[in-house]
Structure 1
């Protein structure tokens, strides 16, 4: 992960200007997280934006919100390019750092900051964030600014230093990718709960038939250990391969662990605990019919560090 050093020193700024930034912070953090797929890096990008805001000639800025969006977007693109170079040597599958949503305010990690409301929650899912990885950095930023945060094309053009026509083409191409991937839809909570119950029963009780009936034929299972902990060295694809792993390997690997149902990235999920320590996060992807198309097992301890074992009923 890329981290700035600006967190260690807060620049001085008058209260009125600080209030303007704090009003924009939730939107900036939500945008940065979706561009970068990392809450830690998103927080760095927002902090870097604050430093620039504190140092700026604010009397010359006509529209502070647009100015802050531009600065934050450009900083995110710089961090994203650096992160993509690092990911070339990433060990195994890469999954985005999860954010914990749906918690009481005192326990949530950026609930209102990263995404608030049903439409924003859809763009937080692991499947959606992984789809964004297939876009170019500017396609990703343009799509998010327009389709998720509803920013005008003039503001997007300024942020990306492009003509409005070029931004429209970027958004159009990105929308085509999103529509083909079929990842921007809401899966009913009841369907998610049914899958989680079947998944747990398959691991703990060996009852695999109910789970198999809820999986798409081409389901994929990915595990991210980041080279720091043992995990799968490849992505499993197809119902038979996934069921074999879930029904045979996971009962042995997860024996004695505690299951905690939580909400991660706006969807039902599990945290797995051993000795009061979170050792895995498990999230799922669904097709428009509610069948599971992806199982994502995150074991990289760096990405698990911010998650809190607060169970959602």
Structure 2
């Protein structure tokens, strides 16, 4: 065999190997993005974490990787935890209320897991996770949402299994009963979205009033980039704000119903450009407990359809 021919075969083998590793990563990418987004609450930072994971995967000696899925999950988790620590420091100077970056997402998984995965993308759930330290947050998500074993979670966080169990237990204790996520029927959510749109268009409160909890809250995030509420409105003030103020300020905008953070929400459009995203949280009776409004343009620039697990 000639040296040239041998070289071509080696190049072909290397190309095939690289293609195989690329396919492995592509298969895992939705799951990695799902983990990173839930840890970080930011699609942009989650994309950065996944991209960094890919670069490390390309450079890794695959002969030392026993399980590509476990390796990629571990690397992505650790990168996300480091990014979250840095993000927490930046939020000290954040102007107004901080809300997670809205994700126009579709989840892809088996039917019995679809609802649980979708609800763990909700704004209310991500805000609940803000009570946890970065490592607590990662451990809780990997164990509770992605159903990894304690041994695998411990390996991902570079700790022993006993301490990992304590970490998850402490996370559950800090969250309390708030980890329960209520998902009203699709019909109920559609009724709420129609009533909210009608209240904004007409200024009439009655249809919407019947769907709001007595202590409903409205939280808006402008990030100091646009004028919005810095305080959180509660109770009757929420309804008055929607019918008296938003009905005037948003009169020229279009409200489009889209899946946002795992459930139907609204995207505020100005000449087809997203200028706001609204998501909702519900109680066990199907009443709206929270309205979350993201108006920070930096958090809307990446608002597009993304597949996550």
Identify the TM-score tier after normalising by the shorter chain.
0.7 to 0.9
Mark the CA change 1:183 to 1:250 in structure 2 (over 3 Å): closer, same or farther. farther
Q: Report the equivalent of 2:165.
A: 168
Q: Report the equivalent of 1:23.
A: 27
Q: Report the equivalent of 1:133.
A: 130
Q: 256, 259, 262: which is aligned to 2:255?
A: 259
Q: Report the equivalent of 2:8.
A: none
Q: 282, 290, 293: which is aligned to 2:289?
A: 293
The answer to whether the Cα contact below 8 Å between 1:259 and 1:270 also exists between their aligned partners in 2 is yes
Partner SS state of residue 162, structure 1: coil
Give RMSD over aligned pairs.
2.0
Separation in 2 of the partners of 1:308 and 1:19? 23
When normalised by structure 2's length, the TM-score is 0.88
- Please identify which structure carries the higher helix content: 2
Q: Report the equivalent of 1:272.
A: 268
Separation in 1 of the partners of 2:250 and 2:174? 36
TM superposition shift of 1:176: 3.7
Larger Rg: 2
Q: Report the equivalent of 1:6.
A: none
Matching of residues 203-214 of structure 1 within 5 Å:
203-214=200-211
The answer to whether the Cα contact below 8 Å between 1:127 and 1:183 also exists between their aligned partners in 2 is no
Matching of residues 191-210 of structure 1 within 5 Å:
191-210=188-207
Asked if 1:39 is matched to 2:43, the reply is yes
Per-residue CA distance 1:92-127 (angstroms, 9 max, x = gap):
11111111135xxxxxxxx549x9822211101111
Which is bigger in relative contact order (C-alpha 8 A, separation at least 6)? 2
Asked if 1:302 is matched to 2:298, the reply is yes
Partner SS state of residue 104, structure 2: coil
Structure 1 unaligned regions, length at least 5 = 1-11, 103-110
Matching of residues 114-125 of structure 1 within 5 Å:
117-125=114-122
The answer to whether the Cα contact below 8 Å between 2:128 and 2:179 also exists between their aligned partners in 1 is no
Separation in 1 of the partners of 2:129 and 2:49? 18
The answer to whether the Cα contact below 8 Å between 1:74 and 1:160 also exists between their aligned partners in 2 is yes
Mark the CA change 1:78 to 1:15 in structure 2 (over 3 Å): closer, same or farther. same
The answer to whether the Cα contact below 8 Å between 2:131 and 2:175 also exists between their aligned partners in 1 is no
Structure 2 unaligned regions, length at least 5 = 1-14
Asked if 1:220 is matched to 2:217, the reply is yes
The answer to whether the Cα contact below 8 Å between 1:183 and 1:287 also exists between their aligned partners in 2 is no
The answer to whether the Cα contact below 8 Å between 1:182 and 1:288 also exists between their aligned partners in 2 is no
When normalised by structure 1's length, the TM-score is 0.87
Q: Report the equivalent of 2:62.
A: 58
Q: Which runs of at least 4 in structure 1 moved beyond 6 Å after TM superposition? A: none
Per-residue CA distance 1:184-209 (angstroms, 9 max, x = gap):
23221111111111112222222212
